[in-house]
A and B are shown apart, each in its own frame.
Chain A
């Protein structure tokens, strides 16, 4: 029987409901923080697809984020297209970039994959920095307008919030379909034991290319939303820290657990903002952030991964009189 309402989906619904209500109870500052959470959610989910499901630890995921942001910014700057056409190009170009990064993967396995992604991100950043005629290099692109979709302009932050929230929900559902499909299972099999997977008839390279491309596209979409949110992009913001923050969100949320990624994004985006209000932490805010990372790694390496004990699971099972198991996919 199909497990429609396992614990993860329930928590997802709770979080989304909370977020949907948020604009009415928060002031613009908190709303801005939540928008950053949304972008981090989409970005982290794309990395979780690559790391948690695809088994590739990527150090350079910010590369796709920056490609998405810069595609939107450059297309608007040079041609002035609205979001609908830009969106298609974002998908095309980031997908292509994902494909490009996947090509060396046919010959390389294990630790070296991480190193290739790091170098890829450095090269992408250098291209953006120095390709002045197109990306205006270090000058940055200014005055990116609000998102206009088929004539309708998303003027206020609240409209932008809901626009981004739709993307968060769509991404989550899309990834849920993907994980519970043949492709999703094959990817997880490749992650757990590539030799056994190959023995079961799974073609490793084509699947790797697909997971890289999809993950790149979703990260690119998050990047394009970022460009419209900030109205200004410059290469300096897409540095290595962006990738490391995203890895931390994914790992803190639990590898392969998309609901966990949502919780991880909320936790690691709100934490620095929350620490801002402590006076004594003024200059050492980021030290507290570093300590939290280390502590969470002690605590069985993720919050949701702390295995909501059977009792919680049983509670939902009794509530819905269905048999649910500790579905730790």
Chain B
């Protein structure tokens, strides 16, 4: 039983982690909590479903790539429409926050309008195959999700360390004005960071619906808050923090709902978050900001 819970925790943790990386990426650059990230999670799942049923028919891979591109575009457009005008005016983040809430409402309502609120079947990979992992019954899709998350974490750490654009993003997170002075295309880079964040949300959205083998419009609501909590738990702004935070949260939740009750598990996830923040305000991996006078 314990092992089963751990495996469930790992796969759910991966879902949280993927979305959390998106939150963390954008936060580290703009110190902005991008509320529309959860809406992109839902929108990309709906786009995948729409593409799968209408255009590309059978091949999951092609649909997945198209969805990723669409999600990247959505992320870029969100940045241009909702965030850039405010950011360039140098206004405080609260205003960018409100416009990202506006975008969240718009995206959610469009999905609601077009998709309807009925549940629908969602294609999945290697359906029905179960592997007996030391007595814990894990479905193939769970393994795939865990592996993809680890690969993406590897890719992201490579991307931010060695790739030119990735290093640009990391530079941005240190000091945007300096990047301006260095002649870096700050606006496009921030646009790319939104696009990357959205793509990550798309991956986790589609993966989650594949795990559930079905899709409905309320799929994003629970995940949005939890992923956000995971980002903070791991230390906001730290990519590996988002992943570790996601896993800790998911495993704790599954343990509690396994041995106690599901409604208690929500208590636990937010309870842990507050406890960690009180003990170490910047989260597990976060660096303590020096109080400069």
Q: Residues of A with Cβ closer than 8 Å to B?
A: 51, 57, 104, 107-112, 114-116, 118-120, 122-123, 126, 129-130, 195, 240, 244, 247-248, 251-252, 255, 283-284, 286-287, 289-294, 297-298, 300-301
Contact = CB atoms under 8 A, between A and B. Distances in A.
A293 B229 contact: no
A298 B85 contact: yes
Nearest to A120: B274
Given A251-B95, A255-B94, A297-B86, A291 B106 contact: yes
A283 B102 CA distance: 17
A82 B27 CA distance: 48
B126 interface: no
B98 A293 contact: yes
A195 B291 contact: yes
B281 interface: yes
B234 to A, nearest CB: 12
A110 B266 CA distance: 25
B158 interface: no
Nearest to A291: B106
Chain B interface SS verdict (over half): helix
Interface of B: 27, 31, 33, 35, 81-82, 85-86, 89, 91, 94-99, 101-106, 109-110, 112-113, 225, 228-229, 232, 236, 263-264, 266-267, 270-271, 273-274, 277-278, 281-282, 289, 291, 293
Given A111-B236, A129-B263, A301-B91, A116 B106 contact: no
Contacts of B228: 115, 118
A220 to B, nearest CB: 21
B273 A119 contact: yes
Given A251-B94, A283-B113, A112 B232 contact: yes
Given A57-B94, A104-B278, A112-B277, A291 B291 contact: no
B50 to A, nearest CB: 18
B33 A114 contact: yes
B99 A116 contact: no
Contacts of B31: 111
Given A286-B105, A290-B105, A293-B105, A116 B86 contact: no
Contacts of B267: 123, 126
B106 A290 contact: yes
A114 B101 CA distance: 15
Nearest to B107: A290
A108 B109 contact: no
A108 B281 contact: yes
Contacts of A115: 228-229, 232, 236, 273, 277
A293 B261 CA distance: 39
A294 B263 contact: no
B98 A251 contact: yes
Given A112-B236, A248-B101, A297-B82, 9 more contacts: A111-B31, A112-B277, A112-B282, A123-B271, A247-B97, A255-B94, A286-B105, A290-B106, A293-B101
A87 B191 CA distance: 50
A79 B270 CA distance: 32
